[in-house]
Structure 1
Amino acid sequence: MTSPHRSAARIQIGTTLRRLREDAKLPRDLACEALGCTITKIGNIENARSGVKHAELEKLLTLYGADEPTRDDLLALNSEAHRRRPKSKIGGQIAPWLRRILDVEAIAVEAIFSSPDLIPAVLQTPDYARALMANVGLAGEVLEKNLELRLGRRVLLTEREVPLRLWAVIAEPVLWAGIGGPQVMREQIAHLLAMTELDNVNLQVMPRGAGVHPLIGTTLTLFRLPGDLPSLISVDTPFGDHFADSPDQVERTSRWFDFTRAKALGLEESRELLARVMEDIR
């Protein structure tokens, strides 16, 4: 039997509510008392089997001690899920939309990534990530908080009970981008080589001159989620990530990724190119 469709917004709200509750070290029983409902309903909300009413969401956010930017962000997203015009004030040191991405990523079983410009966040070294963040104006404590959060994502590949499976295709110019300078790039490429030794990490390079492919010019991640949760597509833009979960979009994106990696270098050829570039960077 096919499971009911769950919107991208509902999945993000559910995963974030679960994270907030667990951070607050509160059992589901207390959430039940706050809403006057069964523990099954709390589980259904957290697992995106059902939506949450606006008033219920406000009660849960208060119970979990959510900060104002997170409250505003989730309430706006819930309005969006119910097809009401969203209103939000985004503030704080960590953008709430980024928190939502991390909550989805934390439960994903597989991430499929393609980019003409960037190395996946879970594969970035501290100096590479710092250079990227400084380039968009982050500094001081805000930069350090965002850096800590980004570097924390790397443990998904190595320290989770069932590590995240990652398949990434990056364009060759990414390796020559000079982000942070030659030493930073050499260290970053060395890290990529080391990570490709893991069974759960596959990295391909799209060589220069490979021609057109379906994902050209787009940075995106396709998240495969556990159980009967639908897959989600996260498209990276300068204003934050945007999610889509239409079955047609997911199927098309998955097919496009297959075409894209077919045009890229093979896994071993990609490793050989990484090693050559690392030696040639001066």
Structure 2
Amino acid sequence: MTSPHRSAARIQIGTTLRRMREETGVPRERVGEVLHCTLTKISNIENAISGVKQAELEKLLDLYQADEATREDLLTLNSEAHRRRPKSKIGGTIQPWLRRILDVEAIATEALYSSFELLPAVLQTEHYTRALMTGIGLSGEVLEKNLQLRLERQALLTDRKPPLKLWAVVSEPALRAGIGGPEVMRDQLKHVLALTELENVVVQVMPQGAGAHALTGTTLTLFRLPNGMPSLVSVDTPFGDHFEDGANHVERATRWFDHTRAKASGVEESRELLTRITEETT
């Protein structure tokens, strides 16, 4: 059986390679010529059914004209997947590990999210996101590129067919955090309320004073993936997201999320609380 870490790496590598191929407009037939392989093998790599050898990955990165930071990131991840010693140097304006997260998110059918501090990225407004990124020291071109990338994620809820299904549990303190100031926070809350009108978006609020719950202190996203790929658990850390896909981890995260949303306010009650907090944010 494939180890959890290896399978999670395959999914990230495969989804990123597919995005790069589509962005560069390289046909599958050309990829087959470069790797001397069938179209089935290319599909298997991109859908994480099989892994990619390091030499093959290097050829694909050359074909897709990958920048140095992306090359280093994917080759390192693939080395880890094959139990080799990883390198650590990562650079670039947009960190490659973030691009890998977005590539996984872009193909996900459903995302279950829980956080005590932040709203999920796909629900964030431009000014709320800008305040967050400024707060961690981003500025200039780096800030603008990361901001643009973050805002593009919102299209997953509205423009993609079928759209991403989102079920988010956020804490009342996160809704009262005042990120960016009262006006920014008020507009952010109005934006969340508007998105909860969509059939594919559910937001529950964990009311202040509710006490501890299964995901206290953790920002977690559980991605459900298509084409028979295993679900992935993403835990947000200051150094990037950590992925797990082991059946025991997924089962435990699912159970914790279910306990957490069961303790939160109901959907309609949460909307009422969101409305009240919006009105109180001055």
1:261-272 residue pairs with structure 2 within 5 A? Answer: 261-272=261-272
Cα distance, 1:163 vs. partner?
Answer: 0.3
Deviations along 1:162-186, whole A, 9 cap, x unmatched? 0000000001000111100000000
Contact preservation (8 Å) 2:3, 2:246: no
Report the 3-state secondary structure (helix = DSSP H, G, I; strand = E; otherwise coil) of the residue aligned with 2:114: strand
Q: CA deviation at 1:227?
A: 2.1
Please identify, of 80-89 and 214-223, the stretch whose mean Cα deviation from structure 2 is larger.
Answer: 80-89
Q: Say whether the 8 Å CA contact 2:207–2:265 is kept in structure 1.
A: yes
Q: Which residue of 2 aligns with 1:151?
A: 151
When the two structures are superposed, what TM-score results if normalisation uses the length of structure 1? 0.98
CA contact (8 A) 2:72 2:90 kept: yes
User: Between the two proteins, what is the percent identity of the paired residues?
Assistant: 70
Match of 1:229 in 2: 229
Amino acid in structure 1 at the alignment position of 2:64? Y
Preserved CA contact (<8 Å) 2:13 2:78: yes
- Alpha-carbon distance, 1:3 to partner: 10
1:244 corresponds to which residue? 244
SS in 2 for 1:7: helix
Is 2:163 the partner of 1:163?
yes
CA distance in 1, matches of 2:227, 2:19: 18
Residue matched to 1:42: 42
C-alpha distance in structure 2 between counterparts of 1:39 and 1:278, whole Å: 52
After superposition, where does 1:133-152 map in structure 2 within 5 Å?
Answer: 133-152=133-152
What is the rounded CA distance, in whole Å, between the counterparts of 1:122 and 1:162 in structure 2? 15
Alignment of structure 1 residues 65-214 onto 2, 5 Å = 65-214=65-214
Unaligned runs of 5+ in 2: none
**Structure 1 residues 91 and 3, CA gap change in structure 2 (3 angstroms):** closer
Per-residue CA deviation, residues 76-114 of structure 1 (Å, 9 max, x unaligned), is 000010011111421111000000000000000000000
3-state SS of paired residue (2:40): helix
* Shift in Å, 1:211: 1.4
How far off its partner does 1:38 sit? 1.0
* 3-state SS of paired residue (1:167): strand
Secondary structure of residue in 1 paired with 2:222 = strand
Secondary structure of 2:14's aligned partner? helix
Q: TM-score, normalised by structure 2?
A: 0.98
Shift of 1:37: 1.0
Q: Aligned ranges for residues 44-59 of structure 1 at < 5 Å?
A: 44-59=44-59
- In the aligned structure 1, how far is the partner of 2:227 from the partner of 2:32? 24
Q: Is the 8 A contact 1:3 1:228 kept in 2?
A: no
Residues paired across the two proteins, number: 281
Q: Which runs of 5+ in 1 are unaligned?
A: none
SS at 2:112's partner residue?
Answer: strand
Q: Secondary structure at the match of 2:153?
A: helix
The Cα shift of 1:161 comes to 1.0
Distance (Å, rounded) in 1 between the aligned partners of 2:48 and 2:92: 27
Q: Is the 8 A contact 2:109 2:164 kept in 1?
A: yes
Q: Is the 8 A contact 2:47 2:227 kept in 1?
A: no
